[in-house]
Amino acid sequence: MKKKKSNNDINFKHLRLALVGVWVLCLIWVWWPVMVMTGKEFLIKKNEMMYGWMVVPVAVGMAWSQREKLLLAAGRPAPGGLTIMAGAFVLHWLGRKNDFLPLSQLAMILSVPAVAWVGWGREVARVLIFPTSFLLFIIPLHFFGINSESLCTISGIGAHGLMNVLGIPCNLEFSAEADAIRKSVCLVHPSGVFDFKVAGVCSGMRMVVVYVMFSAFLGYFLSLAKWRIILLMACSVPIMMSANILRITTLCALSIRFGQEQMMGSFHDWPGIFYVGIAACSILLWAGNMAEKKGGSASRASATPPARQLDWPAGIHCLLLGIFLTILLAVFA
């Protein structure tokens, strides 16, 4: 016999429907301008934020993969999430008052676990912590002074140093842009064989952020410990910066043999795809090694769930995902 629903269950259902309805109205009325401004930030070329369109679908996929845990964790409504919701509205008010978009974006993101906490309990909000945190990648980094110009300088200096080690003659020059504020980095051969300007699109900014996202997704897929995921994300930054330095060095070296015009034409993107693919494989192998180590020590820590083992089928799927992601980024570029 089916268990008859109690009046409390029916009331909870109505409460949850009303709560979701109010949240949707808030998204439309309160946060719709924030979503529009976020989309505009994605479209500004100098922001290097084309990856932003992938953030929400990936976060939704993460939450969907945890649907069984969410069903098991669902409990009675709890008022604790109202505190987070109130804090979100305060952050949004501060963001609108000071014309600071990241505060309003953070408020919109915080509303997701707040609604889950109020409607389904604290455990549901806890399950949604990582998928919700993934949404932080929609926040533009240039508001915090992190832009492609600083990465251009690092990439240019790194490529110049590597070419000196390899014995390739090269001079590093800094020139002022038209606005007299920004400085561009140029790699110049003494005899004029090549004269490369490390522009914003060559800074590797987009690739660095995307592979930090990729590392977070991979660590989540493999059920790694949070500190391992953070370590993997942090180490993906120097890996991608090294790949970009190698790409610039390769372009300069090949320009000596084939000429700068040809290398800046149809062959310009191929070294980047090659080195980015190697970087993706490095991250995949390292993540797989972390999963194996955690799986081996799971028997000694019964409270920690064992990580998924990166067996050959899963490894091939992840490798194909990395190749697809590389091709997708090459198309966006």
**Does some domain include residue 56?**
yes
Same domain, 130 and 239: no
Task: Tell how far CA 176 is from the center of its chain.
Answer: 31
Q: What is the pLDDT of residue 52?
A: 85
Q: Is the pLDDT of residue 236 over 60?
A: yes
Q: What is the pLDDT of residue 200?
A: 63
Give me the number of domains the chain comprises: 2
174 CB neighbour count, 10 Å cutoff: 10
Instruction: Report if pTM > 0.85.
Output: no
**Does some domain include residue 318?**
yes
Same domain, 79 and 208: no
Mean pLDDT of 157-186: 75
Same domain, 88 and 217: no
**Does some domain include residue 104?**
yes
Lowest mean pLDDT among 64-73, 124-133, 163-172, 193-202: 193-202
**Does some domain include residue 247?**
yes
**What's the CA gap between 299 and 92, in Å, rounded?**
45
Same domain, 129 and 252: no
Q: What's the pLDDT tens digit per position in 128-170? A: 999 999 999 999 887 777 767 777 788 888 888 888 888 888 8
**Does some domain include residue 183?**
no
**Does some domain include residue 192?**
no
Q: What's the pLDDT tens digit per position in 70-105? A: 888 888 888 888 888 889 889 989 998 898 999 999
**Does some domain include residue 136?**
yes
Q: Is the pLDDT of residue 188 over 70?
A: yes
**Does some domain include residue 21?**
yes
Same domain, 119 and 222: no
Same domain, 126 and 55: yes
Higher pLDDT, 141 or 6: 141
Same domain, 320 and 231: yes
Same domain, 263 and 136: no
Confidence of residue 31 (pLDDT cuts 50, 70, 90): confident
Please say whether the beta carbons of 20 and 106 come within 8 A: no
Please say whether the beta carbons of 236 and 212 come within 8 A: yes
CA angle centred on 125, ends 124 and 131, rounded to 5°: 105
Same domain, 117 and 206: no
- Percent of the chain clearing pLDDT 90 (strictly above): 10
Closest CA to 243 of 158, 325, 316: 158
Closest CA to 38 of 137, 134, 139, 109: 139
Q: Is the pLDDT of residue 27 over 70?
A: yes
Q: Reduce the DSSP state of residue 143 to 3 states and report it.
A: helix
Say which residues have a Cβ less than 8 Å from residue 124's Cβ, sequence separation at least 6. 70, 73, 74, 75, 116, 117
Same domain, 121 and 236: no
Higher pLDDT, 266 or 208: 208
Please say whether the beta carbons of 76 and 64 come within 8 A: no
Q: What is the pLDDT of residue 6?
A: 46
State both tokens at 70: 């969410």
Residue-number span of the structural domain to which 271 is assigned: 202-332
Say which residues have a Cβ less than 8 Å from residue 278's Cβ, sequence separation at least 6. 243
State both tokens at 215: 């590392």
